[in-house]
Amino acid sequence: MAVGSSNSFDLVVLGAGTGGYSAAFRAGQWGLKVALVDEGPRIGGTCLLRGCIPTKAMLESADLVDKVRHAGDFGIKVGETGVDYGVIAARRDQIVDRLTKGLGSLIKKNKVEHIRGRGVLQSGKKIKVAKLDEEGQPAGDIVLEGTDVVLATGSRVKSLPGLEPDGTRIVTSDDVLKTSTLPASMIVVGAGAVGVEFASFYHDMGVGVTLLEYAPAIVPLEDADVSKDLERSFKKRGMTVITGARFDPASVSVDENGVRLMAGKEGEEPAELRAEQMLVATGRAPNTDDVGLENTRAKVEKGIVQVNAHMRTAEPHLYAIGDIIGGLWLAHVAAHEGIAAVHSIVGAEHEPVDYLKMPRATYARPQIASIGRTQAECEREGIPVKVGKLPFQAVGKALIGGDHEGFTKVIAHKETDELLGVHMIGPHVTDLIAEASAAMLLEATAWELGATVHPHPTLSEALGEAALAVDGRSINF
């Protein structure tokens, strides 16, 4: 336990997002004296306050709207479907508030001291905090000293060079999560996870959507089969999708009617695009500026803090986790990294962080979930593979639910049968991927995954059957 002044702690965590509070709570469970520093009035960071949770609340409403529109297919008669976006936004905010209050109770349960203020590293063990009161006003400076420090300052939205969001016509995900109104039309720039989620949401809300992606495929980090299937689904729903898109960000013009630009596929003549708003979803930047890293021996390359498999930096007793260390910029990954850092600090046995075993989830309609290597990555690395694939059309529960787009794809080592990757697009796959995550953690083979009994009729059968299909043993396809 820490000794000395009230500003001395066993662990100081700078940043109260998912990674930061997970590290703080786990350290508290180990009996450490912990300070959790963040300048916001509430803990939760990007995921809870302006990312994962509010976005998924909105997408849940969008999914329900689509189901109601197809209620007649189930023999249910309903009137004309309408959308009250003000109520959707209010529900979104209520969910965030409820979860934030829950975190407040967990701070007390784990005996963590929450300090509101902006922290800057003075060394690897000292953090100067410009405190803020309940109104967000300056309340004096204090210096905290920790036996160990975890840096978890997260990331922020970024735009394209020459394209400056104004919060009204050219907006970011942060901006749209503060509004309670819908535009009539939207150009979404960037078709990664954030871009396709918002494109899917706005389309279901009745907004005209044009999706632009610089890469040759949307969701370009996913397996190529998944990317193709999602683009096909989006176009079938009526969205305009342009891959290999090219335009000059500096040429985007804004007036009282909205946004205008010239854009088109690489090598083709550009055409004029107009919309009421443009959503820039072109990635995020790590918050490593102005946090005092220059006062430590930690190594930073292009804004990314360098750490080992136990989250240690080159500065003794200074750890870094989450978006600022690169890897996978996902909330659950940051939480895993935070817990790994604390286990390293207390000397507890733990698995080094293995990013190939981290599941990824995208909540567009249809949903996407994946883990491990893509088929193209296996080919580039010279790994011999065998592949099993099963469409959701072959799964009874998917037909029953009226949602049978997509497929499950299992990639295994051709010689050892080791699971190398699982890629899913379709109904509730963001929940189903957890089984593949457990299987990869336990180093299961494709045969073992397929031999696992999956209850019938359930969507989980898609994973079991795809695993059997690796060796041509699928029963239902």
> CA angle 152-156-159, nearest 5°?
155
The answer for residues whose C-beta is within 8 angstroms of residue 456's C-beta and 6 or more apart is 396
In angstroms, how far is CA 103 from the centroid of its own chain?
20
H or E element at residue 103: helix 85-109
Burial class (CB in 10 A: 0-12, 13-18, 19+), 272: exposed
Residue 128: helix, strand or coil by DSSP? strand
DSSP string for 172-206: -HHHHTT-----SEEEEE--SHHHHHHHHHHHHTT
Q: What distance in Å separates the CA atoms of residue 392 and residue 336, rounded to the nearest whole number?
A: 31
185: phi then psi, degrees, rounded to nearest 5: -150, 155
State whether residue 81 is helix, strand or coil.
coil
Amino acid making up residue 399: L
CA distances from 260 to 133, 235, 257 (A): 43, 22, 9
Q: Who's near 443: CB < 8 A, 6+ residues apart?
A: 418, 419
Element (H, E) at 19: helix 18-29
Run of H or E including 277: strand 277-280
Type of residue at 121: L
The upper half-sphere exposure of residue 150, i.e. CA atoms within 13 Å in the direction of its Cβ, equals: 40
d(CA 204, CA 365): 9
From the list 244, 245, 218, the residue with the least C-alpha distance to 230 is 218
Active site residue 456: yes
Comparing CA positions, the residue from 410, 396, 411 lying closest to residue 459 is 396
Cα–Cα distance for residue pair 228/389, rounded to 1 Å: 15
Tokens 């976006």, located at residue: 85
d(CA 271, CA 301): 39
- Residue 255 CA, distance from chain mean position: 33
| CB proximity list for 476: less than 8 A, separation 6 or greater | 390, 394, 395, 461, 465
Q: How far apart are CA 2 and CA 284, in angstroms?
A: 36
Catalytic positions, written as ranges = 456
